[in-house]
Amino acid sequence: MRIQFLGGVETVTGTKYLIEANGARVLRDYGLFQGRRKEARAINEKVPVDVGTIDALVLSHAHIDHSGNIPILARHGFDKPIYATRVTRDLCDIMLKDAAKIQEQDAAYLNQKTNRKGFDPVVPLFTMEDAEASLKLFQGTGYETITVAAGIEASFIEAGHILGSAMNVFTLKENGNTVRVGVAVDLGRRGVPIVRDPATMEDIDLLIMESTYGDREHADAGKADEQLCEVVERTVQRGGKVLIPSFALERAQELIFHLASLYSQGRLPEIPVYVDSPMADKITQVFSENQQYMDEDFHALRAKIGEVMRPSWVKFTSSVEDSKKVTGSDEPGIVIAASGMCEYGRILHHLKHGIENPKNTVVIVGFQAAHTLGRRLVEKQEEVRIFGDMFQRKADVQVLNAFSAHADKNDLIDFVRRVQPRKVCLTHAEEDQRAALADALRKEGLAKDVLLPKDGEVLELG
Ligand SMILES: [Zn+2]
């Protein structure tokens, strides 16, 4: 019985593990590595296992850094079941097709750019056909325990990270021995609306846990309403627009929830609210259809105002014509558009039009990686490049730190305290965050043995 860490251990992207017991081999997650183009391509196209030997894949949630490279397995002939919650399956139907579209467009763009210079044509990492083949392998589960291969059971437990997200407990049986491995990657926070709080797990021999924010504390999730209200009021008073770059999955729906909450309290100014992202539109539909998985805050608000995810005063501007009208207008309003780090998508058109207007505010509600336009805005750089042209950044930029889908240091320590595993293994973090959390767990007396594996390392489980 053993586990091999194939990715997403000393970094927060490209998560994939291989679990083996009783001669069976099961993958847990198969994420896309996101980073500089060349490095990412090399990592993503190399499949580190013989797919013919894999019996199943267990998927935690629909984020691309956990699910986004699944189509490449299909491209290499993988035809075994992919177990995920039914919500994750529905979300992956949108996310993986979108990922394939981006790969195909990217290759076409590069080919167009380099064609005349006699380069070999760039082949997409995977295609729509690969994505569709992999989607056929999905088997939707509830939050329950299922046998995924002979000798390997997987439990799906609420992770509280995004809608449909699951932690897993793998019960491994070999030669009369049983080992229980808990995997809390990704793990959410308590008190975040829409998604339920993370549940717990019991009788765990080894807990593999993320440590993205192993050395950071978030502002209270309950402050998100206040932070948003303040910035909207201030911007509307000076006649500006509020531009919010947002991930289309979860963060966009969370923003709709907070605006609906302010609306219910009579605190939302009477200005139009636009969700200008066809993908967020489709994902919000999946959210609307799966309200049974949502938390008590959501149901309380729904009892008060009726429809929360698609209220009549939120306009989903999926068509290009509608989107252009919103982009071109200088009237006060709130615009939620992807991508979350301002690297592509319609938010770029809104920024191009609105960044030089000092009445406007760009509101940052998500993590901004180095070298992205989003990070430059957070740094309040005076000039920024959008679609190849330089613009004066005159719009205000406000970072709201109450938003995060990942557990912080206190949440992580608290989770270990609740689970009481025999051993802890930390993954999914930059090195300083992981080391700091390991120290904190030792100091709290919660774990004598904290394992800090390297990418590629194999851990024998007895
Ligand atoms: Zn995630």
First to last CA, the chain: 6
Instruction: Domain 221-399: give its CATH code.
Output: 3.40.50.10890
Q: 236 CA distance to ligand 1 centroid (A)?
A: 33
Q: 391 CA distance to ligand 1 centroid (A)?
A: 33
State what percent of residues in the chain have pLDDT above 90. Answer: 87
Q: 16 CA distance to ligand 1 centroid (A)?
A: 13
For residue 136, give the DSSP letter.
Answer: T
Specify whether the CB–CB gap between 207 and 423 falls below 8 A.
yes
Q: 337 CA distance to ligand 1 centroid (A)?
A: 19
Specify whether the CB–CB gap between 343 and 371 falls below 8 A.
no
Q: Where are the beta strands (DSSP E) in 115-151?
A: 138-141, 145-149
Tell me the β-bridge partners of 95: none
Q: 34 CA distance to ligand 1 centroid (A)?
A: 13
> Whole-angstrom Cα distance, residue 117 to residue 140?
47
Tell me the pTM: 0.94
For residue 26, give the DSSP letter.
Answer: E
428-448 average pLDDT score: 92
Q: 253 CA distance to ligand 1 centroid (A)?
A: 15
The 3 state secondary structure assigned to 366-397 is CCCCCCCHHHHHHCCCCEEEECCEEEECCCEE
Q: 161 CA distance to ligand 1 centroid (A)?
A: 7
Tokens 């579209």 sit on residue:
101
What pLDDT was estimated at residue 452?
A: 96
Specify whether the CB–CB gap between 138 and 84 falls below 8 A.
yes
Tell me the β-bridge partners of 84: 140
Q: Specify the 3-state DSSP secondary structure of 254.
A: helix
Instruction: Give the dihedral sign, CA 181/185/187/193.
Output: negative
> Whole-angstrom Cα distance, residue 226 to residue 307?
22
Max Cα-Cα span within the chain: 71
Tell me the β-bridge partners of 4: 18, 458
> Whole-angstrom Cα distance, residue 349 to residue 355?
10
pLDDT tens profile 382-431? 999 999 899 999 999 999 989 989 999 999 999 999 999 999 999 998 88
What pLDDT was estimated at residue 343?
A: 86
Q: 58 CA distance to ligand 1 centroid (A)?
A: 15
The residue type of 248 is A
Specify whether the CB–CB gap between 241 and 330 falls below 8 A.
yes
Mean predicted lDDT score pLDDT of the chain: 95
446-458 average pLDDT score: 92
With 0-12 / 13-18 / 19 or more C-beta atoms within 10 angstroms meaning exposed / middle / buried, residue 283 is buried
Q: 353 CA distance to ligand 1 centroid (A)?
A: 31
Total residue length of the chain: 462
204-208 average pLDDT score: 97
Q: 365 CA distance to ligand 1 centroid (A)?
A: 15
Instruction: Give the dihedral sign, CA 278/282/285/286.
Output: negative
Which residues have C-beta within 8 Å of that of residue 79, sequence separation ≥ 6? 137
pLDDT tens profile 257-302? 999 999 999 999 999 999 999 999 999 999 999 999 999 999 999 9
Q: 308 CA distance to ligand 1 centroid (A)?
A: 23
pLDDT-derived band at 50, boundaries 50, 70, 90? very high
Q: 269 CA distance to ligand 1 centroid (A)?
A: 32
Residue of 273, 430, 398 whose CA lies nearest to 336:
273
> Whole-angstrom Cα distance, residue 119 to residue 158?
48
State what percent of residues in the chain have pLDDT above 70. Answer: 99
Q: 157 CA distance to ligand 1 centroid (A)?
A: 15
187-194 average pLDDT score: 94
Is the pLDDT at 40 greater than 80? The verdict is yes
Q: 193 CA distance to ligand 1 centroid (A)?
A: 16
The ranges of the chain annotated as CATH 3.60.15.10 are 2-216+405-460
Is the pLDDT at 311 greater than 90? The verdict is yes
* CATH 3.60.15.10 describes domain 2-216+405-460: yes
Among 55-69, 115-129, 247-261, 309-323, where is mean pLDDT lowest? 115-129
> Whole-angstrom Cα distance, residue 306 to residue 204?
41
Alpha-carbon Rg for the chain, nearest whole angstrom, is: 22
359-371 average pLDDT score: 91
Q: 446 CA distance to ligand 1 centroid (A)?
A: 25
What pLDDT was estimated at residue 117?
A: 67
Tell me the β-bridge partners of 152: 149, 172
Instruction: Give the dihedral sign, CA 423/428/431/435.
Output: negative
Edge-to-edge strands, sheet with 16-21: 138-141, 82-85, 56-58, 24-28, 16-21, 2-7, 458-460
pLDDT tens profile 112-167? 877 756 778 889 999 999 999 999 999 999 999 999 999 999 999 999 999 999 99
What pLDDT was estimated at residue 112?
A: 84
Helices 251-264 and 224-237, packing angle to 10 deg: 70
Tell me the β-bridge partners of 242: 334, 361
For residue 273, give the DSSP letter.
Answer: E
The ranges of the chain annotated as CATH 3.40.50.10890 are 221-399
Q: Specify the 3-state DSSP secondary structure of 362.
A: strand
